[in-house]
Chains A and B, each alone.
Chain A
Amino acid sequence: MSFDLVFTMSEASLYFLQQLINGLTIGSTYALIAIGYTMVYGIIGMINFAHGEIYMIGSYISFIVIAGLLGMGMVALPVILVIALVVAVLMASTYGWTVERVAYRPLRGSNRLIPLISAIGMSIFLQNYVVLAQGSRDVALAPQISGGWTFGDPQLFEVSLSYMQLLIWIVTLVCMTVLTLFISRSRMGRACRACSEDQGMTNLLGIDTNRTIAMTFVIGAALAAVAGLLLGLYYGVVNPFVGFIAGLKAFTAAVLGGIGSIPGAMLGGLILGVTEALTSAYFPSEYKDVVSFGLLILILLFRPSGLLGKPEVEKV
């Protein structure tokens, strides 16, 4: 960005830009978590209510790994982060797989309400399990990635973009691109798409649907773990209850964008994040949730299947 451009920007537009940056950061992480909801819904038509808890567990695992490696005297931050990422993704994926195996697979084919209840039970179980294992108080981690760029006229308003925010954007973008390629190009992705269209038929054609469904839970959990690591680093605090709120917001994002649609989850996450930031920016911040959930109701009134969702066609 050239200096001329910066200096011609007024205070109001610099402020808007700052809030847009804030909103895109929160939105990116909503999107990462929302993918898990939307993929599971897309393939089995059910909401995985334990997904927020997987995100929370991902955060805890990355905290433990980072604190452990720092404690062992390791200093190379990129190495620490990569190890934390790998461990968090692997362990959260295991949790995701287990949730499917324990709470969904035995109930396949039963009334829709039953796996829903078992997933809520799973969510309560995981939350309390972490409370017992880690305590219910906030666990904090010192800032690992600090600093960033500032631009704009210090007399008017200084816009800041931290390295951490940039990292969140980049990682989200990479994850989304890889996921989109995976779903559209790979053999496994094709199986996923086939499964979501007609599970019975896919099974008849010799595709292991159980394995495919387990795979979507694992992918969702892996992305939630990435979000857990990123948000853990960004906010520096985690407690056993963060999963509930984050899950609620991500679920909203998924519904907003059209549940079952992967680009919809990304769009929904970004819209929700930016709406929240801009509402806080121009109205008292207590109206943040009122406005974003009001927006959700409005969109669902006019587009019941969400922004990018396919209209529901009753299967006969």
Chain B
Amino acid sequence: MKQFSRTLLSVGTALAILGSAAAVQAETLKIALAGPATGPVAQYGDMQKIGVIAAIEDINKAGGVNGMQLEGVIYDDACDPKQAVAVANKIVNDGITHVVGHLCSSSTEPAADVYEEEGVLMITAASTSPTITEKGHQLIFRTIGLDSLQGSMAADYIANTVKPKTLAIIHDKQQYGEGLAQTVKDGLEAKGITPVMFEGVTPGDKDFSALIAKLKKENVDFVYYGGYHPELGLILRQSAEKSFDAQFMGPEGIVNADLAKIAGDATEGVLATAPKSFDQNPENKARVEAIQAKGEDPSGPFVFTAYAAVQVMADTINATGDSDPFKMADYIRSHSFDTSIGKVAYDEKGDLTESTFLVYSLHKDGSKTPAAQ
């Protein structure tokens, strides 16, 4: 214990020294980067870090914001809600008023409450839980779409592009799968398309022959599956054996190389909504190369959303000439930004108005390509 407090003391001293060093250099603006640097999901924290650091370097090279250089400060919440609150308080105490993070929705939610109360602007590049922006907060934004957007997006795609004759919706009775399936159903019914079936399967089940026979009897030509890849893999495989050849579609949860391992050739052409691969975007070519030159991986899903979060902050400060979080929040709500994830604009809640998901077509070798619109 004694040793621990001594360590704390020395860390405190080190930070105090850092703090005073920063005070001397008045021409920097600190941006806190909060997320897991340790723990089981640290790899996602790394993606966020790669994106933020790359954005800060690019912006500083181009002259900084409003004459100030940006400086990133890393805080580790280990994806633990309790530690996230402690980190949030620490950021406030360190006098930082701009945060990119946190990463896990369960950490972002309690931390966002702290930031809102203490007047800190926060943009999360990874948290997709809808509840984070449902509390009427002023200073909380995202650069990533909500999970639930996938459902309405799938419904639009089905109604406008696929136009199936007979449609069935299957789900795995779990919060994620059934929730999405319900959103798809509501979205389709609003467009006058009524599924002939809306049914749950049991996760972990291996035999879907009865279900497939039923789909076949109803002459279903399109199936939306809300759930994960193990069950859908078996459904696809058994459908192929029973020569049931409907078009299948699912959410991000089915986009996994294991799907092709289970279903084999039957994976070819399955549709899925998944986050856009921003590293494939031609406009990001130079950024991708810069990140690769440092020996880092630009392909993680949160690299470019984190990059965009820094861009939104920098553009706002440049435009308003002010780094006051409340003035920035007003500007962010009323303007749109050109970022590494495309043009972004915000609604009242602080969510993106455009989805960051895209419909993909899956292939039997485990790869995916954007589906025909």
Known: A18-B213, A239-B230. 12 other contacts (CB 8 A): A15-B217, A22-B213, A26-B207, A137-B258, A150-B243, A157-B216, A158-B216, A160-B243, A162-B242, A235-B238, A285-B211, A286-B173
CB distance from A93 to the nearest CB of B (A): 24
- Give the nearest-CB partner of B238 in chain A: A235
Q: List B contacts of A140 (CB < 8 A).
A: 233, 258, 261-262, 264
> Pick the contact of B209 from A22, A143, A245, A286 — CB < 8 Å?
A22
Most B CB contacts (10 A, CB to CB) among A148, A280, A281 go to A280
- Give the nearest-CB partner of A280 in chain B: B210
Cα A137 to Cα B204 in complex, Å, equals 12
Cα A289 to Cα B210 in complex, Å, equals 13
CB distance from A248 to the nearest CB of B (A): 11
CB distance from A217 to the nearest CB of B (A): 25
Residue-by-residue, is A130-146 near B (CB-CB < 8 Å gives 1, otherwise 0)? 00000001101011001
Q: List A contacts of B216 (CB < 8 A).
A: 157-158
Asked if B199 is at the interface of the complex by the 8 Å CB criterion, the answer is yes
User: In the bound complex, do residue B264 and residue A288 qualify as a contact, i.e. CB atoms below 8 Å apart?
Assistant: no
User: In the bound complex, do residue B213 and residue A19 qualify as a contact, i.e. CB atoms below 8 Å apart?
Assistant: yes
Cα A23 to Cα B217 in complex, Å, equals 17
CB distance from B94 to the nearest CB of A (A): 41
Instruction: Report 22 cross-chain contacts, Cβ distance below 8 Å, ordered by A residue.
Output: A11-B217, A19-B213, A22-B209, A138-B230, A138-B262, A140-B258, A140-B262, A160-B242, A160-B243, A162-B241, A162-B242, A164-B241, A235-B238, A237-B230, A237-B233, A237-B262, A241-B204, A242-B206, A277-B210, A278-B210, A280-B214, A285-B200
- Give the nearest-CB partner of A160 in chain B: B242
Cα A160 to Cα B201 in complex, Å, equals 22
Q: List A contacts of B202 (CB < 8 A).
A: 286, 288-289
> Pick the contact of B206 from A23, A158, A237, A285 — CB < 8 Å?
A237
User: In the bound complex, do residue B210 and residue A19 qualify as a contact, i.e. CB atoms below 8 Å apart?
Assistant: yes
Q: List A contacts of B217 (CB < 8 A).
A: 11, 15, 157
Asked if B363 is at the interface of the complex by the 8 Å CB criterion, the answer is no
Asked if B237 is at the interface of the complex by the 8 Å CB criterion, the answer is yes
Asked if B344 is at the interface of the complex by the 8 Å CB criterion, the answer is no
Q: List B contacts of A242 (CB < 8 A).
A: 206
User: In the bound complex, do residue B213 and residue A286 qualify as a contact, i.e. CB atoms below 8 Å apart?
Assistant: no
Q: List B contacts of A276 (CB < 8 A).
A: 210
Main secondary structure of the interface of B (DSSP, over half): helix
User: In the bound complex, do residue B199 and residue A286 qualify as a contact, i.e. CB atoms below 8 Å apart?
Assistant: yes
Residue-by-residue, is A1-42 near B (CB-CB < 8 Å gives 1, otherwise 0)? 000000000010001001100110110000000000000000
> Pick the contact of B200 from A138, A148, A277, A284 — CB < 8 Å?
A284
Cα A25 to Cα B210 in complex, Å, equals 11
User: In the bound complex, do residue B233 and residue A138 qualify as a contact, i.e. CB atoms below 8 Å apart?
Assistant: yes
Report which B residues bind A (CB closer than 8 A).
173, 199-202, 204-207, 209-211, 213-214, 216-217, 230, 233-234, 237-238, 241-243, 258, 261-262, 264
Cα A105 to Cα B216 in complex, Å, equals 51
Q: List A contacts of B207 (CB < 8 A).
A: 22, 26, 235
Cα A278 to Cα B209 in complex, Å, equals 11
User: In the bound complex, do residue A22 and residue B210 qualify as a contact, i.e. CB atoms below 8 Å apart?
Assistant: yes
Q: List B contacts of A284 (CB < 8 A).
A: 199-200
CB distance from B168 to the nearest CB of A (A): 11
- Give the nearest-CB partner of A273 in chain B: B207
- Give the nearest-CB partner of A137 in chain B: B258
Ranked 3 nearest A-B pairs via Cβ: A280-B210, A286-B200, A22-B209
Q: List A contacts of B201 (CB < 8 A).
A: 285-286
- Give the nearest-CB partner of A288 in chain B: B202
Asked if A189 is at the interface of the complex by the 8 Å CB criterion, the answer is no
Most A CB contacts (10 A, CB to CB) among B204, B209, B216, B234 go to B209
Question: Are A146 and B241 also in contact (CB < 8 A) when A285-B199, A286-B199 are?
Answer: yes
Q: List B contacts of A138 (CB < 8 A).
A: 230, 233, 258, 261-262
- Give the nearest-CB partner of B197 in chain A: A284
CB distance from A191 to the nearest CB of B (A): 36
Question: Are A25 and B209 also in contact (CB < 8 A) when A237-B230, A237-B233, A284-B200 are?
Answer: yes
User: In the bound complex, do residue B213 and residue A281 qualify as a contact, i.e. CB atoms below 8 Å apart?
Assistant: yes
Asked if A236 is at the interface of the complex by the 8 Å CB criterion, the answer is yes
Q: List B contacts of A18 (CB < 8 A).
A: 213
CB distance from B161 to the nearest CB of A (A): 28
- Give the nearest-CB partner of B170 in chain A: A285
Asked if A195 is at the interface of the complex by the 8 Å CB criterion, the answer is no
Cα A175 to Cα B41 in complex, Å, equals 49
Q: List B contacts of A281 (CB < 8 A).
A: 210, 213-214
Q: List B contacts of A245 (CB < 8 A).
A: 204-206
Question: Are A143 and B199 also in contact (CB < 8 A) when A18-B213, A241-B204, A285-B211 are?
Answer: no
Cα A224 to Cα B39 in complex, Å, equals 40
Question: Are A142 and B264 also in contact (CB < 8 A) when A231-B206, A286-B173 are?
Answer: yes
Q: List A contacts of B211 (CB < 8 A).
A: 280, 285
Residue-by-residue, is A225-252 near B (CB-CB < 8 Å gives 1, otherwise 0)? 0000001000111010110010000000
CB distance from A137 to the nearest CB of B (A): 7
Residue-by-residue, is A275-316 near B (CB-CB < 8 Å gives 1, otherwise 0)? 011101100111011000000000000000000000000000
User: In the bound complex, do residue B241 and residue A277 qualify as a contact, i.e. CB atoms below 8 Å apart?
Assistant: no
